[in-house]
Amino acid sequence: MRIWLIVVLVALGIGVISIAAKAVFAGSSPPAVGSLAPEFTLTSQDGNPISLKDFRGKWVVLYFYPKDFTSGCTIEAHNFQRDQAQYAQKNAVVLGVSVDSADSHKQFCTKEGLNFKLLADTDHKVSGEYGSLMNFGVTQIAARNTFLIDPQGKIVRSYTSVNPNKHSEEVLAALTELQKGAGVAGQ
């Protein structure tokens, strides 16, 4: 009887672990390159509402990330922070989105010295609209996806399952290429 109980408990434990480890995408697919970026308003780490339309006339790096205070997300955020001056030179802003609360974002920004906007998608709506919501066990988190949006509000590049170690450099290179192609720096 004890051996049978141990076998059942082990099997249940393995099942729970495999469910928790499996990340499955939920919701819709990402908006297509060439389409208008879905509009949104979310609360930032400072408690203020931020809308995508607030940045018309600028390039927007809209990046989704799984969770504040985790290693990959911290690396990615540090790299975007490190490159803020280069983004500013390219007339670009970086906006990070996760399903964490604005308070969590505030603590994360304070601890990690981040000064760009992190947006709280606590109802998971925006992450879903951008095809960037995934199931992680019994909870949902944002997938590590990025959308590069031009000054007119059109998605010009999308990146899925990015490498947080080199992603900021990848986005900066794309901005340089796109701005050269447009013939006008920053536009």
Phi-psi region of 75 (alpha: psi -120 to 50; beta: other; left: phi over 0): alpha
Q: Which listed residue (52, 62, 73, 119) is catalytic?
A: 73
Query: Do the beta carbons of residue 144 and residue 96 sit within 8 Å?
Result: no
Q: Is 73 a catalytic residue?
A: yes
Take residue 134 and report the two structure tokens written for it.
Answer: 């995934």
Distance CA 63, CA 49 (A): 17
Cα atoms found within 13 Å of the Cα of residue 149, Cβ hemisphere only:
26
Which active-site residues does the annotation give? 73
